[in-house]
Structure 1
Amino acid sequence: MNLQELDSRLRTIAEHEEEYKSGNFTLSTNILKKAMTNNEEVLQMHSDNINIHSNKKHNMNILVKKHARFHKYPVHSHDCIELNYVYSGKCTQKINGKKIELTKGQMLLVQQDTIHRIEPLSENDILIKIIIHNDYFKSHFFNRLSSNSILTDFFFKSITTGVIYKNFILFNSEKSERLRIFINEFLCEWYDPSIVFEDIMGSLLTLIFSELVNTHTIDLSNSDGSSENNIVKILDYIEKNYKNCTLKDTAEHFELNANYLSNMLKKNTGFSYKDLVQHQKINAAKDLLLNSNLSTTEIANKVGYENISFFYKKFKQYCFCLPGEYRNN
């Protein structure tokens, strides 16, 4: 499938959309469980109900759908992570009572068990929903992306645990040409699967989330001083200054009390300041071991370790093997 064919497919008004448009079709919700929240009936969309496990195309726990236009979908929640991408036009959603306006190219991540509603879409409004089971999200992205960045690790763990990002994340990705390319290729592969479908889809999902991390990090670095933004800025600072930064210096940089900074990091990341610095040093060492010809001693010095024995000790503590074994395997 090429991009012209994809565009034509997405813009074509389906039979059920025609019925919604004419007012002759009502969405059946009888098979779905319902619950009352704040005096409002909420549909509970579980993965079994939306056939996320029984899709015959693949064994991946994901489902891609074009959201039906011309009708007001009921208030609902789901037990999966949902990515909403505005392919064309715009989209209005209400999440826990908060109105969210999305424009072309933006992406919204809705966490599991979040109560939300999508307002009716017009003909030019095309919304793509990528529904991802939590187990797949954790195994796939932690394996592929939790590598050389404490900030990236924190971002993905926060999505699944709700430590910082509660309910949703809006990505201001409308200017990202890379994301548009990745999404288009992703959709072409979904609607017209190749013989290596799962590999291509998995790789494209990784690229999509990597670009979202880039976009979100830039947004937060330019935003206000709220506590969640401070966490991201502090982790970014540690990533850039891990070789010789100290708790005192970092606290002074952000005009915070050192004890307050230490407690804030521990509460929101689960790690002490010292642990985060060590994590980043080891992450940098791992990257150099795999992508350079530097000796182990040179690498240890380059990432901020003067005591080689201590480097070996810490490396084994974090990686469960010695540097030479990591490089060879």
Structure 2
Amino acid sequence: MALTEEEKEILNGNAEINKSLYTDNRKFVIDIDKLLPKGELIDIRKHTRFIDFPKHNHNYIEISYVYQGELNQIIDNRKIKLQKGEIVFLNQCITHEIKASNKEDIIINFIIRPEFFDYVLTLLEDDNVISKFLITTLYTNYNEGEYLYFKVAQKENIQDLLEKIIIELYNPSIMNKAAIKLLVGLLLVELIRNSQNIEIYSSNNYEKMLIINTFKYIEESYKKATLNEISGRLKQPHYKLSRLIKRYTGMTFKELLQEKRLNKAVELIGISNYSINEIIELVGYENPTYFYKIFEKKYGTTPRRYIYKN
């Protein structure tokens, strides 16, 4: 309930948000480096009360949690009123504005760098709305606005997890970062279990599903995967799917497949007794010379030296 310095200035007559606190950009894109120290992946910030917060977006993922009172937003021209205990996830491309909150309205904003979710995603199955939201959000080429609105005020286990995460963030301690990751992972699992209470908004869900299915195909079939095969499975012309992959990820299908194969090769180098030639075959390459070339380009060393280096 305590007033922040910004709120004190507003109550003393400052009628506009001081944008320099949030960005150096002329467009009102809130910069995470203004709010979060470099090297930190997640923090929380109480939303500024008593003033309309003008239309903006962020270069990070924001989760807003109504700790007390209510939150009135206009998200992509859609009016949303969140009640106590409700949550909304916003990706970097969504535009929203927030109506002035009263003294009793306590909104907690989670400020999160996308890479925070690299670990969390390993805990989740990929066939759910949260994983789909996070997967595309992790790629900066994806420029469609999206939000997930969770109507979970009555779910005590979810409220308890949110309370624990807030306490961990306000009171740093030993193993604090690991605890936060695990708690956020558990929170997402519980939100997925309550998917009947989620309102989803995306400006292009269909294209997003094509990309997610392509990732899944590469993950499962990287040894023999081809663009023609996945195009046939998805009933899409290969040139159309190729353009979508490039648009959403900044990479071609061939580059995505190569990235997966090289990552798998490094994994096998670290945990198996296979020879380098056996690993080359296991990840789907027939030409050892080509494999050595792309491996050295990516990792700056040969596979054999990589073994001893690591």
Tell whether the structures are fold-level matches, with TM greater than 0.5. yes
The secondary structure found in structure 2 opposite 1:226 is helix
Residue 250 in structure 1 maps to residue 230 in structure 2: yes
Trace 1:8-27 onto structure 2 (pairs within 5 A): 14-16=1-3
| Gap change, CA 1:98 and 1:178, over 3 Å in 2 | same
Contact conserved, 1:32 with 1:44, CA < 8 A, in 2?
no
Residues 4-51 of structure 1 show CA distances to partners (whole Å, capped at 9, x for unaligned) of xxxxxxxxxx2559xx9xxxx5773446259xxxxxxx9958669x97
Report the Cα distance in structure 2 between the residues aligned to 1:304 and 1:253, rounded to whole angstroms.
20
Residues 223-266 of structure 1 show CA distances to partners (whole Å, capped at 9, x for unaligned) of x9622332222222222221112121111100011222222222
The secondary structure found in structure 1 opposite 2:35 is coil
Q: Which runs of 5+ in 2 are unaligned?
A: 21-25, 123-131
1:292 to 254, 263, 272: 272
Trace 1:194-273 onto structure 2 (pairs within 5 A): 194=173, 200-201=176-177, 204=180, 208=184, 226-273=206-253
Which amino acid in structure 2 is aligned with residue 191 of structure 1?
Answer: Y
| Gap change, CA 1:212 and 1:284, over 3 Å in 2 | farther
| Gap change, CA 1:166 and 1:51, over 3 Å in 2 | same
| Gap change, CA 1:61 and 1:30, over 3 Å in 2 | farther
Deviation at residue 275 of structure 1 after TM alignment:
1.6
Residue of structure 1 equivalent to 2:125: none
Q: Which runs of 5+ in 1 are unaligned?
A: 1-13, 35-41
Which amino acid in structure 2 is aligned with residue 52 of structure 1?
Answer: L
2:35 to 52, 63, 74: 52
The secondary structure found in structure 2 opposite 1:264 is helix
| Gap change, CA 1:272 and 1:146, over 3 Å in 2 | farther
Which amino acid in structure 1 is aligned with residue 259 of structure 2?
Answer: H
The secondary structure found in structure 1 opposite 2:53 is coil
Residue 170 in structure 1 maps to residue 148 in structure 2: yes
Residue of structure 2 equivalent to 1:5: none
Residue of structure 2 equivalent to 1:309: 289
- TM (normalized to structure 1)? 0.61
2:257 to 277, 290, 293: 277
Q: Kindly tell me the number of residue pairs found equivalent between the two proteins.
A: 281
Residue of structure 1 equivalent to 2:129: none
- TM (normalized to structure 2)? 0.64
Deviation at residue 290 of structure 1 after TM alignment:
2.7
Contact conserved, 1:141 with 1:206, CA < 8 A, in 2?
no
RMSD value, Cα: 5.1
Residue of structure 2 equivalent to 1:81: 60
